[in-house]
Amino acid sequence: MVSFVAYRTANQESPDTITMLEFRTMQEAQQAAVPEPLKQILDELRSVGAVARVLLIERLPFTPEPILA
């Protein structure tokens, strides 16, 4: 299971809005991170001063490890 997590922070310290999408394979998650609609959403958040961070995480049974994309 792979989770795609996007969140923005109001004060750049604590999450204000969190979005998580679940994918069955790493390939599906990587393909979802590339399309134009996702870029548009992130650009719109940044245009209003929101600091958007996107994490691609492969969930293992005990220790999720961030994957640098």
Residues of the chain with pLDDT > 70, as a percent, come to: 35
Closest CA to 46 of 19, 15, 8, 17: 8
CA separation for the pair 40, 43 (Å, rounded): 5
In this structure, of 20-24, 39-43, 56-60, the range with the lowest mean pLDDT score is 56-60
Output phi, psi for 57, to 5 deg.
Answer: -125, 125
Mean pLDDT of all residues in the chain? 66
Structure tokens belonging to residue 44:
């719109």
Mark residue 24 as left, alpha or beta (left: phi above 0; alpha: psi -120 to 50; beta: remaining).
alpha
Contacts of 24 (CB under 8 A, 6+ apart): 1, 2
